[in-house]
Amino acid sequence: MYKKAQRKGFWRFNYKPARKPKQVMLAGEFSLWQPVAMRRQKDGSYACSVNLKAGSYQYKFIVDGQWTADPDHHERVDNPFGTDNSLACCS
Query: What are the b/e assignments for 1-28, b being 16+ CB within 10 Å?
Result: ebeebeeeeebebbbebeeebeebbbbb
How would residue 85 be classed by pLDDT, with cut points 50, 70 and 90? very high
pLDDT higher than threshold 70 for residue 2? no
Q: Convert 41-73 to b/e letters by CB count within 10 Å (16 or more is b).
A: eeeeebbbbbebeeeebbbbbbbeeebebbeeb
The answer to whether the pTM exceeds 0.85 is yes
Higher pLDDT, 23 or 6: 23
Answer whether residue 81 shows pLDDT above 90: yes
Judged against a pLDDT cut of 70, whether residue 41 lies above it is answered with yes
Instruction: Catalogue all structural domains in the chain, each as residue range(s) with its CATH number.
Output: 2-90 (2.60.40.10)
Separation of alpha carbons 89 and 78, rounded Å: 16
